[in-house]
Amino acid sequence: MTTSSEPQQRRAAADLIRRPPELWAGAIFLTLAALPAAVFGVLLGLQPGNIGVNLRAKIDNVHSTVATDVLLNVFRAVGAVVLILAVLFALFAWLAVHPRRGARSIAAALAVLEVVLLIGAMAISQVDPVSLGIVLLAVAGAVLMFLPRSQEFIAARL
């Protein structure tokens, strides 16, 4: 049998557990890892200034069998998808700080997706410091979200 004060006692106990700094740092790292993807998505989606002109010239120079306008539209769509994923990545990182059911798991899954894509890109071309930094930020942010103090805080709040 539960008493009416039992939920209040559980809530009072949860209030005593402070939000650990590891959780804040994890959200900041994940947000910093998502920012370059968001910038890339905006640039690819909008193709402002010389970017669109240069992209059109490069497509024309390779004499593609697909129409240039079709490829530019595909690039715009890919840019929009990348931008949406980056915004969702940052959103779920911050929702995990204010415990929402599943937010940490979704943020970690998006971090894994970003790491896998970047490692694939670095395997095809070459390792560059920016991509390596993004991978390290994403891994560190995801790990910080799942440290014992973070787990304890989130378990007490849910």
Helix axes 68-97, 21-46, angle to 10 degrees: 170
Q: Rounded to two decimals, what is the model's pTM?
A: 0.81
**pLDDT confidence band for 3 (50 / 70 / 90):** low
Per residue in 89-141, pLDDT (tens digit) is: 999 999 998 888 889 999 999 999 999 999 999 999 989 999 999 999 999 99
Contact status, residue 19 vs residue 97, Cβ threshold 8 Å: yes
Residue with the bigger pLDDT between 80 and 99: it is: 80
- Render the burial of 18-35: b for 16+ CB within 10 Å, e for the rest: eebebbebbbbbbbbbbe
Q: Give the lowest-confidence range in 23-37, 56-70, 74-88.
A: 56-70
Residue 10: per-residue pLDDT: 61
